[in-house]
Amino acid sequence: MKKKFLIKSLFLSLLCVTAVGFVGCDKGEQSGVNNSSDSGSEIIEPIKDYTGVQTLNSFENNDDLYAIKQMQTNFDLTFTMDITSEQKKEGEGSLKIYYKDGTFGNVIQPLETTDFIDCKVGDIKSLSLWVYNANEVEAPVTLSALKSGSVAIAQETFDLPVGEWTKCSLPLNKVAMESNAERFYAFAFTFSRQMKNATYYVDEMQVEFGAEYSAADEENLVKVNDLIARINVLPETITLENEEVLKEIYTDYMALEVAYQGAVNNYDKFESAVNKLLTDARGKIDYSKESVACYFDKFYGTFQATKAFDSFPNFSYSEDVKYKDEAGSLCIECTGDVWTYVTLSTVVPIAKYATTTCAVYNGLDKRIAAYFTWKQMTIINPGEWATFELDNREYPYGMEFDMAALDDNGHVTAAYGNVYISQMVMHPKDAEQEVYTLYDMNNPEGIMKETFLGVYTYDETFETVSMDGYGDVLKLTAKNVITYESSGGASTGVIALSKNVAISYNSKAAALEDYDTVKFSIYNPYDIAVPVHIMDTSWGTGPDATPDTGDEHLAYYYRGELKANAWTEFEMSVEDFIKAGKILLECHAVYAEDGVEFCISNITAYGRLHVMRLIEELPEADTLTAADKETVLSVLAEYEKLSNEHKAMVENYEKLEAGLQKVGVILE
């Protein structure tokens, strides 16, 4: 009986690290003498010549099993691989792969674990593999020839019928293989449909030698070498002045057949240059006018979209599906993930604009639930467009497109097919809002999704309650707060119930660009005051460093108390609010077995428009009296909280200045 080979996710993480170190087998036509040693010359064996079809792995024994490695991009994979006689195409056995759960990537076969480590990669004409699909539905398998970074030199996907062996053959282009010989990594296969409880059998991985240059190869090799040379001379500093040159390179690259595109072995340098170009464009935009957020055009195509988290979509540019008068769309090919995540890199800074609009088309045969960074969930029917208008202040750290397919019962399910995003446009700030509610306590679930109120407890509840003078507020109940004794960075056990409640929040830094002050209140229902700290626990120093505690890495931006049986109002500069990120309540004196509870009001930001309204509400200067002095001074205090930039934007400042003079305040 064959020994079963069980691989769990922890062991896989080690395999992933090990795989990075694999080296290409082909070093061109190297042979002869190495003169690097002072003691003498080392004779290097010449690279062997192989012909015809050769077997890389016959999957007959455990040595064959250990020669391959299952890679993954997320440490959640549970599967088994073993050699079995249950199914076989040739010989006495085959490789059986059972995927129970998780996200799986390539199964790689490096040449260094075969008898062909000394082969000429450029001589390999094709890769073939027999695969048996033991599942109840058809499933695709993808064969690849990979270079360092797991980038495909050649790749093709094959459909596997149910219950039969299928021979999959990947032709390899001699120009592409020779151009990437020094970076060649491994041959690989992966099952594109991320099915759970899926079983496959694999047998007879073979390569065919004898690749030769054709007339087309010779012609395209000239074009490939020209592109490589043009990319090599691109400057390190890329600006908009280089745009036309980059577009010419891209046009010529796209004119190559796909097989020859892989031969442009420095294409990653070109991609880096385009990304620098997009970055440079950000600083040269007129923010008072509409701007394209993501081009998604023929040149920039997919440069502004990347895979996120553990989903594996493919990207392309499509002119077949487009919204209204757009030239085309970003095509997102869903490959079987339950959730598909796409990070979008916008041309312009999100915070400089008020809103973003875009359109999404559902090309699947199922409904989809679509979000932008988990906001504005929209159900889109098959074959329909949906439009989005996004408040940019809700996206301080960038935009991400999130989606899942829905079955007939409304449950998320694996998605296969294409979804399109088109006409993504930023719209200018015609007028700022006077105040901006960062966290609306009327929606506890929404607040949690925004990563506000990450409470360090094992049991906490949130609910909205109404309180006089404050409207809807958030009631927080925290129980069973635990601390651990640490030794050498490791937790050694529970030592006590903590009497502190630490509330972390997402500061939405970019959303606060137009504001200067943040205000909120916390209600203490207990008969005694409760110490409160608004603080930053990352390494650094704040306006109130803490040498008295010995915690030199803590920075306190507020230290005080919550008044007993009362609301305590807090007011901070935007800068300090962003830097802090945590509200710590010392509950030693009030902690009870059933926990502690507090109420928190909306957290709201104020800026120049708020100050302008306060000035507008002041009586005219010639009607003011000494009795109005405190009112005028309170408005001046609000004005002084503004940044210098925002002070210069207070359009009715002259009215405040006149009022101050009338009540006898002399400004320096």
Average pLDDT over residues 106-116: 90
Q: What is the CATH number of domain 291-427?
A: 2.60.120.260
At residue 328, the pLDDT reads 86
**pLDDT-based confidence at 299, cuts 50/70/90?**
confident
Q: Are 538 and 579 in contact (CB under 8 A)?
A: no
Phi then psi for residue 3, to 5 deg, are -70, 130
DSSP letters spanning 529-574: -EEEEEEE-SSS--TEE-TTTT-TT-EEEEEEEEPTTEEEEEEEEH
584 forms bridges with which residues in the sheet?
502, 533
**pTM summary value:** 0.56
Q: What is the CATH number of domain 5-34+42-209?
A: 2.60.120.260
**pLDDT-based confidence at 542, cuts 50/70/90?**
very low
The total of other beta-carbon atoms located within 10 Å of residue 429's CB is 16
DSSP letters spanning 281-344: HHTT--TTS-EEEE--STTTTTTTEEE-TT---EEEEESSS--TT-S-EEEEEEES-SSEEEEE
Q: Which of 191, 69, 65, 170 is nearest to 128 (CA)?
A: 170
Query: Rounded to a whole number, what is the distance in angstroms from the first to the last CA of the chain?
Result: 93
Is the pLDDT assigned to residue 526 strictly greater than 90? yes
Average pLDDT over residues 244-267: 87
Tokens 């409160």 correspond to 532
**pLDDT-based confidence at 446, cuts 50/70/90?**
low
What value does the CA radius of gyration of the chain take, rounded to a whole number of Å? 32
At residue 495, the pLDDT reads 37
Q: Quick one: tokens of 226?
A: 């020209």
pLDDT in tens, 497-511: 456 777 777 767 667
pLDDT in tens, 593-628: 777 889 998 888 888 888 888 998 899 989 988 888
Say how far apart CA 581 and CA 575 lie, in whole Å: 11
Say how far apart CA 578 and CA 555 lie, in whole Å: 12
Topology at the third CATH level for domain 435-606: Jelly Rolls (2.60.120)
Is the pLDDT assigned to residue 231 strictly greater than 50? yes
Q: Could you tell me what percent of the chain has a pLDDT over 70?
A: 79
pLDDT in tens, 449-474: 554 555 555 567 778 888 888 888 88
pLDDT in tens, 15-57: 333 333 333 333 232 222 222 333 333 443 445 678 899 999 9
Q: Tell which wins on pLDDT, 249 or 541.
A: 249
Tokens 């069973």 correspond to 480
Q: Which of 35, 204, 219 is nearest to 109 (CA)?
A: 204
Is the pLDDT assigned to residue 484 strictly greater than 60? no
**pLDDT-based confidence at 561, cuts 50/70/90?**
very high
Q: Quick one: tokens of 441?
A: 């306590």
At residue 227, the pLDDT reads 94
Say how far apart CA 57 and CA 129 lie, in whole Å: 10
At residue 321, the pLDDT reads 92
